[in-house]
A and B are shown apart, each in its own frame.
Chain A
Amino acid sequence: MKRLVVALLICAVFLWFVVSGNAEEGKLKVGFIYVGPVGDFGWSYAHDQARQIVEATYPWIETVYVEAVPEGEVEGVIDRLINQEGVDIVVTTSFGFMDGTLAAAQRYPDKIFFHCSGFKRAPNMATYMADFHQVYYLNGIIAGALTKTNKLGYVGAFPIPELKRHINAFTLGARRVNPNAQVLVRWLQTSWYDPAGAKEAAESLIAEGADVLAFTEDSPTVVQVAAEHGLPSFGHYSPMYKFAPDFVVSGQLVHWEAIYLDFFAKVYAGLYTSKNLENVDYWWLLREGAVELGADFGMPINPVFEERLKSTIVNDPVYGEISVYDLVFALLKAMADPEYAFSPFTGPIRDRKGNLRVPEGVRLTMDELITMEWAAEGIVGAWPGEPE
């Protein structure tokens, strides 16, 4: 009997060592899974920057990451993160990881899963997204004021609702200050990271007369091509000022850490558990500080373009006679203010086929935003999945 007790004790101590083996005592261990390489200057890079900020901010958190994970392999990588590294929270940062993450969430009901850009949730799986449509609207305003040919070029990776929403916001912004502005669109439809395709698309847009470029793709290629032609462009995802300091006007910057810091703190405090995440869905915008307007952090508009934008005066339906520069900052303030809550998608808005998509005085709901398929007036080019 005595021997049995001793043996059991030894087993218990051993198990305790094994269980608490990897993570440091009392630390929350988080594993990040990226679909791309962290050096892509786009999506995965931005998530990894946020991971580093999180680790530097919270002494009680420890992180690991795995890059360039093929979509079908995500479940195996989650297994390894949990069993090999002993993580408590798994963060999966690609839409294509959705079903694999959900399956893993069901297999590990005590672990917490945080999936970016998807729509499937579980008691232990929350979702999140930092959306740019407000920032694109402001970029559109600037682009509409800068163009001389009235043609803006846009390189998009895939024709999905997210990009359609962003291109629509960009177009609506441009036409607010320049009703003649057109947005010429080229889809890559190859990969989120396709520098060769992006270069080709940017060149062809310029050949067609576009003199301001914006894009959604995970490399700084479009910015570089525009600069070679001496044309202004807008950065995407990470600060792209440094790639063309004289030509990057502004852009969309993300602060994934705003979401991560909030979520992990709530998990650490016990507010979020593996039982109550069914309805936890972050959809964070300017107001929450998850996104930022700028060519670089803290540089909303490149000083090179400041004079030109200050001297361009438009007659705005809301603000009256105002310089484009002031208009951008007025709207930026309005969108960042929780009380004011201006939306670029406030009616009346018609699509390019003439259908009234947003009636007068109505704002689109989040559900309508994330399933958007129509193309706004002023968009030129193919638009796969365009409704009648």
Chain B
Amino acid sequence: MREPIVRIARRLEPSPEMVFLVSVGSVIFAFLVSGFLFSFLGIFPTEAYRVFLNGAFGSFYALSETIKRMIPLALIGAGLSVSFQASVWNIGAEGQMLIGAIVGAWVALFSHLPSPLLLPAMFILGFLGGAFWGVFAAWCRNKLAINEIITTLMLNYVAANLVLYLILGPWKGKTVRGFAYTDPFPKEAWLATLGATRIPLATLLLAIIAVFVCYLILTKTTLGFELRVVGRGEKAARLAGINIGRVVSFVMFLSGGLAGIAGVGEVSGIHHMLRHPAHISLGYGFTGVIVAWIARANPLGVLASSFLFGALMSGGDALKVSFGIPFQVIYILNGLVLLFLIASDQLLYYRIIFRHGHQDTREEDYGGVVD
């Protein structure tokens, strides 16, 4: 049989260098393509790149803004990595984050705890709040066999409406002239920031700790091994005597809890009040899914991918400020980066072989041959 002109062959595991290079390459490609968009808006592309890079990394201030955006993404992404390793598709980080924000706000405004206990209580209870929101979805899956994608997604809206109900109803502030906000938190419930930046120190440390703890859980513990087995195949896991329900509950507890911490960090570090849910979550919960996915569900990789998306957000701000471009352009830019990253996956796991190329890899042939 004659060889087709082009065929596609499966690669075995791609090397880490390869993953890194292809990812960076796809981000660069996304920027090259977005150059057309900028030209169309009457902005010289290199000028746009310069502003973007300056705005994301070009100064101490720019870096600090990037890191500020990175923190919630890293917290959420680390937790979701663990969850995705177990093939538990938690896409409810947005809601879990908001529940964390609600619980944190309750502690700050109504618990009347003495100030040394206030912030720790906000974080611990915020973690438990987010974890509870996650475990509820796990319970639905374990006991009622309801797909966790549906429940976690829907619980996002429940959480957002709960925030709205609270700020329009029982928690509406006395000092906000009838607008939909709570009163500002007492100063004791504000997170200290790092020097002159707006990076909340506590959440920065928590994010780094979370990344390493998640990594250790995955690689060094029996539970981590079990959850990776569940992720590869439930039947095999069941045969091996692994309690799947327990694994699902655990990953939802952990990923929900970390999203809850991200929520507490946003309200006590940045907003100092509970306000409209869209202004608190800013889509971090959904972006966190992408962050974990791009890191290939490796918590250490989350450090890099959350930094990338933090940079996209803060560089995007710089573009908006400098050129007064429509805000949707930033979404398009983010979308392009994501599109190229997803598309590059094919390059990582498959390679294209031309007829005159090496033909010594026939045993790796992938079924879908393209003529």
Residues of A that sit less than 8 Å from B by CB = 31, 37, 39, 64-68, 70-73, 75-77, 79-81, 83-85, 95-96, 99, 119, 158-161, 164, 189-191, 370-371, 373, 384-385
Once the chains bind, are B65 and A76 in contact (CB under 8 Å)?
A: yes
Among the listed B177, B184, B326, which residue makes an inter-chain contact with A370, where contact means beta carbons less than 8 Å apart? B177
Once the chains bind, are B168 and A80 in contact (CB under 8 Å)?
A: no
- The distance from the CB of A282 to the nearest CB of chain B, in whole angstroms, is 17
Once the chains bind, are B317 and A96 in contact (CB under 8 Å)?
A: no
Beyond A80-B55, A95-B179, A96-B179, is A72–B270 a contact (Cβ under 8 Å)? Answer: yes
- The distance from the CB of A69 to the nearest CB of chain B, in whole angstroms, is 8
- The distance from the CB of A104 to the nearest CB of chain B, in whole angstroms, is 11
Once the chains bind, are A71 and B275 in contact (CB under 8 Å)?
A: yes
A selection of 21 A-B contacts at a CB cut-off of 8 Å is A31-B321, A37-B327, A39-B326, A65-B324, A66-B320, A66-B321, A68-B327, A71-B271, A72-B279, A76-B198, A80-B55, A95-B179, A99-B184, A99-B272, A159-B168, A159-B178, A160-B179, A190-B164, A191-B276, A373-B178, A385-B178
Once the chains bind, are A37 and B272 in contact (CB under 8 Å)?
A: no
Once the chains bind, are B179 and A76 in contact (CB under 8 Å)?
A: no
Please, which residues of chain A bring their CB within 8 A of the CB of B275? 71-72, 96
Please, which residues of chain B bring their CB within 8 A of the CB of A84? 54-55, 318, 321-322
Please, which residues of chain B bring their CB within 8 A of the CB of A119? 177
Once the chains bind, are A71 and B276 in contact (CB under 8 Å)?
A: yes
Most chain B CB inside 10 Å of its own CB: which residue of A39, A73, A76, A191: A76
Q: How far is the CA of A385 from the CA of B170 in the complex (A)?
A: 10
Within 8 A of A (CB), among B308-329: 314, 317-318, 320-322, 324, 326-327
Taking CB as reference atom, which chain A residue is nearest B175? A119
Residues of B that sit less than 8 Å from A by CB = 54-55, 61, 65, 68, 164, 168-169, 172, 177-181, 184, 198, 266, 270-273, 275-276, 278-280, 282, 314, 317-318, 320-322, 324, 326-327
Q: Which 6 A-B pairs have the closest CB atoms?
A: A68-B327, A160-B178, A80-B321, A71-B279, A72-B271, A161-B178
Q: How far is the CA of A72 from the CA of B179 in the complex (A)?
A: 15
- The distance from the CB of B229 to the nearest CB of chain A, in whole angstroms, is 41
Taking CB as reference atom, which chain B residue is nearest A157? B180
Among the listed A37, A75, A85, A189, which residue makes an inter-chain contact with B321, where contact means beta carbons less than 8 Å apart? A85
Q: How far is the CA of A71 from the CA of B180 in the complex (A)?
A: 12
Taking CB as reference atom, which chain A residue is nearest B270? A72
Please, which residues of chain B bring their CB within 8 A of the CB of A79? 61, 65
Since A76-B314, A79-B65 are in contact, a sample of 11 more A-B pairs with Cβ atoms closer than 8 Å, ordered by chain A residue number, is A70-B278, A72-B279, A76-B317, A80-B55, A80-B317, A85-B322, A190-B164, A191-B276, A370-B177, A371-B177, A385-B172
Please, which residues of chain A bring their CB within 8 A of the CB of B266? 72
Please, which residues of chain B bring their CB within 8 A of the CB of A66? 320-321, 324
Once the chains bind, are B326 and A384 in contact (CB under 8 Å)?
A: no
- The distance from the CB of A269 to the nearest CB of chain B, in whole angstroms, is 27
Among the listed A77, A161, A385, which residue makes an inter-chain contact with B317, where contact means beta carbons less than 8 Å apart? A77
Tell me what chain A mostly uses at the interface: helix, strand, loop, or mixed: mixed
Taking CB as reference atom, which chain B residue is nearest A370? B177
Inter-chain residue pair count (beta carbon < 8 A): 93
Please, which residues of chain B bring their CB within 8 A of the CB of A191? 276, 278
Q: How far is the CA of A373 from the CA of B273 in the complex (A)?
A: 23
Among the listed B65, B198, B314, B327, which residue makes an inter-chain contact with A67, where contact means beta carbons less than 8 Å apart? B327
Beyond A70-B279, A72-B271, A83-B61, is A160–B327 a contact (Cβ under 8 Å)? Answer: no
- The distance from the CB of B316 to the nearest CB of chain A, in whole angstroms, is 11
Q: How far is the CA of A81 from the CA of B61 in the complex (A)?
A: 13
Please, which residues of chain B bring their CB within 8 A of the CB of A161? 177-178
Q: How far is the CA of A292 from the CA of B206 in the complex (A)?
A: 54
Please, which residues of chain A bring their CB within 8 A of the CB of B276? 71, 96, 191
Q: How far is the CA of A34 from the CA of B317 in the complex (A)?
A: 13
Please, which residues of chain A bring their CB within 8 A of the CB of B172? 385
Q: How far is the CA of A64 from the CA of B325 in the complex (A)?
A: 11
Q: How far is the CA of A84 from the CA of B54 in the complex (A)?
A: 10
Q: How far is the CA of A79 from the CA of B65 in the complex (A)?
A: 10
- The distance from the CB of B192 to the nearest CB of chain A, in whole angstroms, is 15
Among the listed A67, A73, A373, which residue makes an inter-chain contact with B326, where contact means beta carbons less than 8 Å apart? A67
- The distance from the CB of B169 to the nearest CB of chain A, in whole angstroms, is 8
Please, which residues of chain B bring their CB within 8 A of the CB of A159? 168, 178
Q: How far is the CA of A371 from the CA of B177 in the complex (A)?
A: 7
Q: How far is the CA of A85 from the CA of B280 in the complex (A)?
A: 27
Once the chains bind, are B324 and A73 in contact (CB under 8 Å)?
A: no
Once the chains bind, are B184 and A160 in contact (CB under 8 Å)?
A: no
- The distance from the CB of A72 to the nearest CB of chain B, in whole angstroms, is 5
Please, which residues of chain B bring their CB within 8 A of the CB of A160? 177-180
Once the chains bind, are A73 and B327 in contact (CB under 8 Å)?
A: no
Q: How far is the CA of A85 from the CA of B181 in the complex (A)?
A: 31
Please, which residues of chain B bring their CB within 8 A of the CB of A190? 164
Taking CB as reference atom, which chain A residue is nearest B51? A84
- The distance from the CB of A63 to the nearest CB of chain B, in whole angstroms, is 9
Taking CB as reference atom, which chain B residue is nearest A70? B279
Once the chains bind, are B317 and A73 in contact (CB under 8 Å)?
A: yes
Taking CB as reference atom, which chain A residue is nearest B161? A190
Q: How far is the CA of A39 from the CA of B279 in the complex (A)?
A: 20
Q: How far is the CA of A83 from the CA of B318 in the complex (A)?
A: 11
Please, which residues of chain A bring their CB within 8 A of the CB of B327? 37, 67-68
